[in-house]
């Protein structure tokens, strides 16, 4: 009885903590930031507290931007609500429909066993492979696409070896984090890695007055990506692992795989749909002129709908609507949309810009402290909004501050680009996808905070060295 009362008390405290923190920030911060900006910052804290303490489901928390905006009319509601079915949500829906066919046809079991046969049972080896594969793929594909490609395979593998609940599985933590973090950092390995990079390139070209070639990007940022990936890997290895090896041996998985026999028509069609969507997303430049509207999101959705039409060896559709209703992760879409909606409020109310103004008022000299401040600023904005939104805010602010200090803005712009491509903490952006697959948001935030501090320290020191000793980091 006492335990139940204690649990009820903790729940009540968790419920009250969110809106209480919001009210406190609103009252205390409106003189400094303005009413709407303070409300936007309060919403971040409210959602963060509820994501950590989970007094309600994390997807319920993700709907708070709509409620807060309805009460306080911070920004036009259409811009907030539209985030819950934005283009990225369409991408996730299409990918989810395609991947659902794996479960229906048994392809997920086949892929899980094959993956274990190739990677081997060593947990550290698996962490390395998942991180490396996610990082490399994200260099060429949008990070959300990489997550939707990799996470179903990893979750299927984990379930097959007996990890039924990803939220309580200690084995799932390093593997799912490896995929998420790899997909997140890989984006700045090439301009193809995300829209935020294109924002950065546009400002580089404005500064230099000439085209910034993709090879120039790779030369400057790929070595830095390698260093950041090593930081991620060392942190993942530092997490206390529940086992050294995944249960079972490589020979056992091979024998079990052989028992599956020949791949059936349904499995083959499921694999073809998935590979086709991935390849079409990758080679989009080849057909963009012919089908300008057929972006990766709509490729995945189109092929996801095709799954309802084509039939397997039993003359049944690959998936049916009842299967989609029960199998698609609708809560993940709301969670992802909630992060986008939060970023929309933070950006459009001017809260992010106000934070930038406060930074500009500090006494900067262009040295290590300046680099550290720019890194924290860009990384921090990327944590609470999308990295594209962070790029749009950070780039002009950093350039303005550097010019005001009489400094060459280019190296500090490079530093900012590195910063907004590194985010680990809140379950927003692609991290919402991983939480949707079962990783606890509290676990993600705990490890995310630690890694973010390590990464920001490394980026700061590395950038300071590059600015002073590598000529290519100061010119194009």
pLDDT confidence of 338, banded at 50, 70, 90? Answer: confident
How far is residue 128's CA from residue 112's CA, in Å, rounded to a whole number?
17
From residue 72, how far is each of 46, 75, 77, 351 by CA, in Å? 15, 9, 11, 15
At residue 311, φ and ψ (nearest 5 deg) are -120, 155
Average pLDDT over residues 280-306: 85
Give the residue from 421, 429, 432, 430 showing the smallest Cα distance to 459.
421
**Which region holds residue 261: left if phi is over 0, alpha if psi is between -120 and 50, else beta?**
left
Whether residue 405 has pLDDT greater than 80: no
Domain boundaries, the chain: 1-74, 85-195+205-329
DSSP 144-168: HHHHHHHHHHHHHHHHHTT---TTT
Least confident interval from 89-103, 121-135, 235-249, 430-444: 235-249
How far is residue 147's CA from residue 434's CA, in Å, rounded to a whole number?
8
Q: Please write the tens of the pLDDT for every residue from 413-453.
A: 999 999 988 888 888 777 888 888 888 888 888 999 999 99
Q: What 3-state class would DSSP assign to 106?
A: coil
Q: Please write the tens of the pLDDT for every residue from 117-136.
A: 777 678 888 888 889 888 88
Give the residue from 391, 403, 376 showing the smallest Cα distance to 202.
391
Q: Which residues of 252-280 are buried (b: 16+ CB within 10 A; e: fewer)?
A: ebeebbeeeeeebebbebbbebbebbbeb
CA 464 to chain centre: 27
Average pLDDT over residues 2-30: 81
pLDDT on residue 375: 92
- Check if the beta carbon of residue 307 is closer than 8 Å to that of residue 273: yes
pLDDT on residue 462: 94
Q: Token pair for residue 313?
A: 């060896």
pLDDT on residue 312: 84
pLDDT confidence of 253, banded at 50, 70, 90? Answer: low
Whether residue 319 has pLDDT greater than 80: yes
**Crossing angle (nearest 10°) for helices 143-160 and 107-119:** 90
CA 46 to chain centre: 21
Percentage of the chain exceeding pLDDT 90: 21
Whether residue 6 has pLDDT greater than 60: no
Whether residue 145 has pLDDT greater than 80: no
Over the Cα atoms of the chain, what is R_g? Answer: 23
pLDDT confidence of 235, banded at 50, 70, 90? Answer: very high
Whether residue 50 has pLDDT greater than 60: yes
pLDDT on residue 73: 93
């Amino acid at each position: 009885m006492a335990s139940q009362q204690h649990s009820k008390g903790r729940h009540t405290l968790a419920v009250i903590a969110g809106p209480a923190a919001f009210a406190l920030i609103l009252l205390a911060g409106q003189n400094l930031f303005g009413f709407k900006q303070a409300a936007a910052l309060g919403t971040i804290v409210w959602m963060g507290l509820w994501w950590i303490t989970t007094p309600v489901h994390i997807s319920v928390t993700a709907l708070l931007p709509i409620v807060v905006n309805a009460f306080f009319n911070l920004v036009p509601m259409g811009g907030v609500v539209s985030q819950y079915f934005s283009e990225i949500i369409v991408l996730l829906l299409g990918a989810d429909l395609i991947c659902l066919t794996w479960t229906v046809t048994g392809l997920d079991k086949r892929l899980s066993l094959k993956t274990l046969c190739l990677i081997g049972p060593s947990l550290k080896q698996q962490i390395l492979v998942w991180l490396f594969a996610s990082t490399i793929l994200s260099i060429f594909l949008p990070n959300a696409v990489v997550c939707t490609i990799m996470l179903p395979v990893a979750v299927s593998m984990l379930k097959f070896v007996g990890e039924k609940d990803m939220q309580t599985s200690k084995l799932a933590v390093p593997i799912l984090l490896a995929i998420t973090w790899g997909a997140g950092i890989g984006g700045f390995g090439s301009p193809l890695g995300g829209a935020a990079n294109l924002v950065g390139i546009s400002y580089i070209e404005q500064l230099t007055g000439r085209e910034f070639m993709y090879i120039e990007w790779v030369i400057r940022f790929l070595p830095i990506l390698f260093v950041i990936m090593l930081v991620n890997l060392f942190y993942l290895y530092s997490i206390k692992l529940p086992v050294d090896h995944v249960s079972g041996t490589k020979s056992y998985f091979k024998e079990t795989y052989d028992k599956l026999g020949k791949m059936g028509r349904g499995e083959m069609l499921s694999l073809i749909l998935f590979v086709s969507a991935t390849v079409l997303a990758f080679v989009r430049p080849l057909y963009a002129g012919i089908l300008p509207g057929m972006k990766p999101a709509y490729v995945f959705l189109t092929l996801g709908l095709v799954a309802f039409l084509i039939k397997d060896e039993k003359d049944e559709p690959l998936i049916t609507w009842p299967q989609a209703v029960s199998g698609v992760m609708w809560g993940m879409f709301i969670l992802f949309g909630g992060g986008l909606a939060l970023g929309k409020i933070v950006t459009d109310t001017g809260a992010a810009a106000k934070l930038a103004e406060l930074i500009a008022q500090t006494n900067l000299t262009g040295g290590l402290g300046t680099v550290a401040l720019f890194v924290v600023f860009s990384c921090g904005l990327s944590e609470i909004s999308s990295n594209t939104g962070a790029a749009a805010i950070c780039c002009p602010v950093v350039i303005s501050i550097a010019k005001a200090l009489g400094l060459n803005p280019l190296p500090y712009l490079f530093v900012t680009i590195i910063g907004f491509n590194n985010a680990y903490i809140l379950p927003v952006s692609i991290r919402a996808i991983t939480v949707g697959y079962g990783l606890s948001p509290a676990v993600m935030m705990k490890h995310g905070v630690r890694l973010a501090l390590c990464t920001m320290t490394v980026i700061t020191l590395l950038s300071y060295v590059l600015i002073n000793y590598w000529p290519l980091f100061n010119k194009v």
